[in-house]
């Protein structure tokens, strides 16, 4: 019987500020049985969607994405904050609740039109994942879907993601 992934997630009240209930996934990453189940379930998503590459969003998306890419024998492409990637980059600016941010990808990473699965640890408001999808398109990739370890459904992040692409979350908090 597969382990219940929620058992490995720690709730941390009032972090990073009062009134926030933080869902800490590090105990899940630390537990070999739980982590193997994460990779197994996301591998099933990969088998269904058939991506050519995994794109992981800085920084915890790197952890989840590289584990998945290795298990599926796929390449991995990092999406990073500005100034972190060498060579020519393609970037996209996006709005945050208070201000803006930017994501970048190496310009040649998806130039062949690769089919891409975007992976991150958590779907909250959806702004970063939506910006990543925009970035994938700008870099010449073809989005085939999204995969998340956990989702905070009350924040309605799915609504910001592009229509017509599957969104798979292993744990959904309402």
Catalytic entry in 6, 60, 102, 158 = 60
Residues 6+ apart with CB under 8 A from 18: none
Tokens 């009350």 belong to 154
Does residue 60 have an active-site annotation?
A: yes
Catalytic entry in 23, 37, 47, 97 = 97
77 bridge partner residues: 55
In degrees, to the nearest 5, what angle opens at C-alpha 89 toward C-alphas 87 and 95? 145
Does residue 30 have an active-site annotation?
A: no
DSSP class per residue in 42-108: HHHHHHHH--SEEEEETTHHHHHHHHHHHHHT-EEEEEBSTT-S-S-EEEEEEEETTEEEEEEEETT
What is the distance between the alpha carbons of residues 50 and 133, in angstroms, rounded to a whole number? 17
- Which residues are annotated as catalytic? 60, 97
């Amino acid at each position: 019987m597969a382990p219940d992934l929620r058992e490995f997630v720690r709730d941390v009240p009032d972090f990073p500020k009062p009134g926030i209930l933080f869902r800490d996934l590090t105990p899940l990453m630390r537990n070999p049985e739980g982590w193997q189940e994460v990779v197994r379930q996301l591998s099933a998503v990969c088998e269904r969607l058939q991506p050519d590459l995994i794109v992981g969003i800085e920084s915890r998306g790197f952890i989840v994405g590289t584990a998945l890419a290795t298990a599926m024998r796929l390449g991995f492409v990092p999406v990073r904050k500005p100034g972190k990637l060498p060579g020519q980059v393609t970037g996209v600016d996006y709005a945050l609740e208070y201000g803006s941010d930017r994501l970048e990808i190496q310009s040649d990473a998806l130039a062949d039109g690769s089919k891409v699965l975007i992976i991150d640890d958590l779907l909250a408001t959806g702004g970063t994942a939506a910006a990543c999808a925009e970035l994938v398109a700008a870099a010449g990739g073809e989005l085939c879907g999204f995969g998340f370890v956990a989702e905070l459904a009350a924040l309605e992040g799915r609504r910001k993601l592009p229509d017509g692409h599957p969104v798979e979350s292993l744990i959904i908090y309402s």
